[in-house]
Amino acid sequence: MSEFPTKLLTELVTRHVETDAASLRFTPIRTGKHNRSYWVDSEAGRFVLRIAPPDDAGFLFYERLMMRQEPDLHALIRERTALPVAEVIGYDFSRTRIDRDYILMRALPGTPMSDVHDLTRAQWQRALRQVGAYLRQLHELTAPDCLGIHAYGYLGAHRPMEPQPTWAEAFRVMWNKLLDDVEACGAYTADEAQTMRSLLEAYFPLFDRPVEPRLLHMDIWSQNILIDEEGNVTGLVDFDRALWGDVEIEFAVLDYCGISEPPFWEGYGSQRDISPMAVIRQRFYLLYELQKYMPISVWRRRNRVEAERYKRQCIALARTLIR
């Protein structure tokens, strides 16, 4: 991915921070997989500048313009919870200075867990326990209380879908839109995509149950958890994929990312539903997480071999649901 000229980066930052332009130092952040991000060191402190990909980068349905929901989410979370979430200093979605969205945040302390190669078991347990406690706080935020509407789905400013009156309807829309992407990238044939659509319809009554539209991060993994030398969590980052819905789908992402271990549940303060119906829903939610990697592999990584590997995993999981 090509770098942006220092002159342009300086212009973007000085629009929002009063500092000597000559003092600015930009260092690319290599851990990010979607946006182009930089450490910004200045006399006014340290910041993170994130620049969205170009509009033709190849997006999942909910990724297009998803940065636009972050300012409001960060403000909400910082106001109503104790989560260590970055302060948004400024942003511009007008495309007047650059042909992409960008956001500037104050840098959080700590190191991504993924970069700590000598993490002890005690540090790992402490971090997961704190992540559990923080996610419990996040999940206490509901759409009626925070947004003034009783609705489900991706409800941010990027609006990749219409708000839905029930979680079941929201997940149906999300499932089918994602399948549109998988079919569009060529990973599924039309018949294979239809099989997946019909599979959800066969189990749809299991999703049609009363759940609160809770705020879900949907991308908690080791790279998005910042910790200090003792394993204390100093930051949770990348809320751009957040949605409002059933906490069970968040748990499935945590399963996939290796976060939902016993220390996590100790911090979360309650156990998940492990009934047979919940197990079936968990498989669908895991499929929702897995299927996204096919378009990502094809459109952004140009790797059809990888996409085929994800497809085999998805087909194998789907077969456990066919009756």
What is the full DSSP assignment across 296-318?
A: IIIIIS--HHHHHHHHHHHHHHH
What span, in angstroms and rounded, lies between the C-alpha atoms of 116 and 305?
30
What token pair was written down for 261? 């271990």
Determine the Cα–Cα distance for residues 278 and 281; give it in Å rounded to an integer.
5
> Which part of the chain has CATH 3.90.1200.10?
111-319
Q: Which DSSP string corresponds to 137-192?
A: HHHT-BHHHHHSS--BB--STT--S--BSSHHHHHHHHHHHHHHHHHHTTSS-HHH
Report how far apart, in Å, the C-alpha atoms of 81 and of each of 65, 87, 136 are.
25, 13, 10
- Mean pLDDT along residues 130-158: 98
Phi, psi of 253 (to 5 degrees): -65, -40
Distance from C-alpha of 71 to C-alpha of 183, rounded to nearest angstrom: 32
Residue pLDDT, tens place only, 200-225? 999 999 999 999 999 999 999 999 99
Q: What is the mean pLDDT of the chain?
A: 97
| CATH for 6-106, options being 1.10.645.10, 3.30.70.360, 2.20.25.90, 3.30.200.20 | 3.30.200.20
Q: Tell me phi and psi for residue 102, to 5 degrees.
A: -150, 160
| pLDDT of 132 above 80 | yes
> Which amino acid, residue 313?
Q
pLDDT of residue 1: 46
Question: Would you give the distance in Å from CA 197 to the centre of its chain?
Answer: 24
The rounded Cα 105 to chain-centroid distance in angstroms is 17
Q: What is the pLDDT of residue 182?
A: 98
pLDDT band at 249 (very low <50, low <70, confident <90, very high): very high
CA–CA dist 71, 240 (Å, integer): 9
pLDDT at 323: 77
Q: Domain 111-319 belongs to what architecture?
A: Alpha-Beta Complex (3.90)
Orientation angle between helical segments 190-203 and 276-291, nearest 10 degrees: 150
CATH 3.30.200.20 residue window(s) in the chain: 6-106
Percent of the chain whose predicted confidence (pLDDT) is above 90:
97
**The token pair that represents 273 in the structure block:** 């539903």
Question: What does the pLDDT read at residue 3?
Answer: 82
pLDDT digits (tens, 9 = 90+) for 48-89: 999 999 999 999 999 999 999 999 999 999 999 999 999 999
